[in-house]
Amino acid sequence: MFKVLISDAMSNVAQKIFEKQKISVDVKIGLSEEEIIKIIPEYDGMVVRSATKVTKNIILAAKKLKVIARAGAGVDNIDVSTAKKSNMLVMNTPGGNTNATAEHALALIMSALRKIPYANDTTHKGKWEKKNIKGNELSKKTLGIIGFGNVGARLSNLVKGFGVNILVSSKSLESRKKDFPHVNNASFDELISTSDIISFHCKAAPDGKPLISKEHYKKMKPTAIIINTARGNIVDENDLNAALNENLIAGAALDVYSKEPAKENILFNNPKAILTPHVAASTAEASIVVAEMAANQISDFLLRGTKINIV
């Protein structure tokens, strides 16, 4: 009988799928690297979200492990190259949380434009800041989307009704242009210098270097807003903080950070930054879909050899 370890909190639908397929499953959440190293030799498969760091040491200790599934899109918490060298498959669940993430990006855009966090905070405190809170409309603005995979494309579809001008910086757009007549391809420089809102939906650079730094902010509109729901190291947080303080741009709304969990960060308490704790994909709906996809993919591979969504 195959045995699978679920090491991060996720919908219990995953556990039920394994049980139905007669695959033995253990749910052990919050284990340290050392604790996982001790137990991992028993398992044929492993399901993680983002909290478990599947390190080289864990992979090398995993003598029976054949497959690791990430219930989510990004696999930056898994040492994929060591897994590949050890003949292990790494899978993700692309599309499972696309809509959730795109909706959160839109929520951050609207929160920044309409100053919702500030309005909420001050109203709760009994201050009536009506005169100080004047928002901006999304309608007729230029939205720059950097990276046009599932989430970037979904965001472009979500904002169609707002009558925005959408610019996209993505190498893959040209060949898919007929499916997205509502967006225009732009160079990175053109996009950052003409957009009112710049939203990141790309992968981080393989060397971890930020895509955007001080020089880029100088090219942006002083009214521009940066949105990041992709990965924290895409944006240099020190440079972003300086750009906000020096009024090079007007605001930022971030869901991801260079170091997570973000217990301290240079952007904390900057009133121009709206921050959420990496929850863009965390909806009741998406949590079920990604858990379901991960469990089905592992079961299909262990029981039938079917390989789906291999990274």
| Chain positions contacting ligand MLT, by CB under 6 A | 49-50, 72-74, 97, 281
Q: Which residue is nearest to ligand MLT (CB)?
A: 72
Q: Which long-range contacts (CB under 8 A, 24 or more apart) does 277-285 make?
A: 278/50, 279/104, 279/255, 280/97, 280/100, 280/101, 280/104, 280/105, 280/229, 280/255, 280/256, 281/72, 281/73, 281/97, 281/100, 281/101, 281/104, 282/100, 283/97, 283/100, 283/103, 285/99, 285/100
Q: Where does the chain show beta strands of DSSP type E?
A: 3-6, 24-27, 45-48, 67-70, 89-91, 142-146, 165-169, 183-185, 197-200, 225-228, 251-254, 273-275
d(CA 46, CA 75): 13
Give the whole-angstrom CA distance, residue 254 versus residue 92. 23
Give the residue numbers marked as catalytic: 231, 260, 278
Cα–Cα distance for residue pair 65/4, rounded to 1 Å: 9
Here the tokens at position 54 are: 């599947």
Helix, strand or coil, per DSSP, at residue 228? strand
Tell me the C-alpha distance between 237 and 252, whole Å: 11
